[in-house]
Chains A and B, each alone.
Chain A
Amino acid sequence: MERLRERFEPLGAFVLWSKEVFVSIVAHRLNVRDLLYQMYFIGVKSQSVVFITGAFTGMVLAAQTYFQFHRVRMDHATLAVVSISMCAELGPVLAGLMVAGRVGAALAAELGTMRVTEQIDALRTLAAHPIDYLVVPRFLATVITMPLLTAASIAIGIAAGYGMCRIYLGTFASYAYDNMVKYTGAEDFLTGLIKALFYGGMIGIISCYKGMTCREGAEGVGRATTEAVVYSSITILISNFFLTLVLNKLLQPA
């Protein structure tokens, strides 16, 4: 029992802290300028990696699907597979993992450094609540930016996949395109966006928590940064499975 408590105490602390973040979002005035600045920063930092990931994933997916489908003469279904996979699974998950690496690490390192150099204590003596002032704008910025980045990544992935189809199928690519439009529903895209929103929230809250509770010294900052990335990524991969099941039940027409 004691062992069990020891294991779950850190999780409890995290949950209580998250609750404070939500209270702050609801009950305290948000500094819109800070939010826009953070969104700009997060967007700029991650757009190139997210776009490259989207493009190459779309292309390799198209190529591999074509190789397999060509044998069973289903070439015309290639793009539909690409688009549904990109929208519902690969777009949000890969964008999430890339953003966890770029933004999650940066958030944890920034807040962690502020903590070990006493800047967070200084903030508190200057009558500013660190959650209102530092965490909320960063958290909301990741939540808002992730779906935008994901949507762009999906679009680029599909476009790149279409490019591959042109190469393999030539003029028949337009059949594949028609099939894609026919079989990809709004619910697939919506699934991706809801996932992205959720992953953005997870990356934001985990990384900010790791930064704000960072241990002393350079070692503490390094560790907080690594843990922010690892925990965000694991959370994305595990929750993706459950989100797929739940969203499928909620969104797909029976």
Chain B
Amino acid sequence: MIEARDLHKSFGAHQVLAGVTLRIQKGESVVVIGRSGGGKSILLKHLIGLLQPDTGDVIIDGESIARMSERQLLRVRRKFGMLFQSAALFDSMTVAENVGFVLRREARSHPEEIRRKVAEALDMVELSGIQEKKPAELSGGMRKRVGLARAIVYRPEIVLYDEPTTGLDPIVADSIDQLIVNVRERLQVTTVAVTHDMRSARRIGQRILMLHEGRIHFEGTPEEVFSTKDPIVNRFVAGVADTRNHNF
């Protein structure tokens, strides 16, 4: 279970998180929506301990991680897989080396077994036979898939997605959404995604949280999000700019 308690985070004078509290059950699939620059990536990075909150706490399976050292965190992070917005593949390595990174470092498996697991993970993201390619040779959608393969190859319990469909054309975006749902069903992982793409949010999320002005402004099922009378949620869902308020 993932729990955030009253997270605050500022960069200089700019407050990004102003008291975020949330709770995500094991096996659940949650999407956090919100405007670009609203702090969604920052929130996600707090959940996996890449950033430390100014105040507040993050609790993973009963363990407080907000004040852990980087070395202690390495153990906790083994439970997580994360897909970055830019995929963040290691560009000096081939696809196979990227995907097999954790397995090779742990050095518990035989090279032959690593090769098999890498092929299996690439199969799951529907990309077979590209093991020897370099990230620079891949399209945006393929990179995201390789990033996903790298995040799930070691069977984490929780997978975090940062804008999984942003910057992709609608067809590729749709296939990525499908993949996220497949991964959740096949591996039984807890899924947390942040996005500003409502179509994607509706497909992936069993529960949707809206981050607004540094707090969770609204939470509910996809149906509730689409049917609510809340003006802020409405404007976001319909994609209408608030002409009186240009501070984006």
Contact = CB atoms under 8 A, between A and B. Distances in A.
Given A119-B91, A121-B45, A121-B50, A126 B86 contact: no
Nearest to A133: B105
Given A122-B82, A124-B50, A129 B74 contact: yes
Interface residues of B, number: 25
Nearest to A27: B71
Contacts of B8: none
Interface of B: 45, 48, 50, 70-71, 73-75, 77-78, 80-82, 84-86, 88-91, 101-102, 105, 150-151
Contacts of B73: 124
A125 B152 CA distance: 12
21 contacts: A117-B86, A118-B84, A118-B85, A119-B88, A119-B89, A119-B90, A121-B45, A121-B88, A122-B90, A123-B90, A124-B73, A124-B74, A125-B50, A125-B81, A126-B101, A126-B150, A127-B74, A127-B75, A127-B78, A128-B74, A129-B71
- Rank and list the top 8 A-B pairs by shortest CB-CB distance, nearest first: A122-B88, A118-B88, A125-B82, A127-B74, A118-B84, A126-B102, A119-B88, A127-B78
Contact count band on A:
10 to 19
B71 A125 contact: no
A124 B81 CA distance: 11
Interface in A107-162: 117-119, 121-129
A128 to B, nearest CB: 6
Nearest to B160: A125
A138 B136 CA distance: 24
A121 B77 CA distance: 12
B80 A125 contact: yes
Contacts of A127: 74-75, 77-78, 102, 105
Contacts of B48: 125
B77 A124 contact: yes
Nearest to B41: A118
Interface in A93-115: none
A125 B160 CA distance: 10
Contacts of A122: 82, 84, 88-90
Given A117-B86, A127-B78, 11 more contacts: A118-B86, A119-B91, A121-B88, A124-B50, A124-B70, A124-B74, A125-B82, A125-B151, A127-B74, A127-B105, A128-B74
A119 B70 CA distance: 16
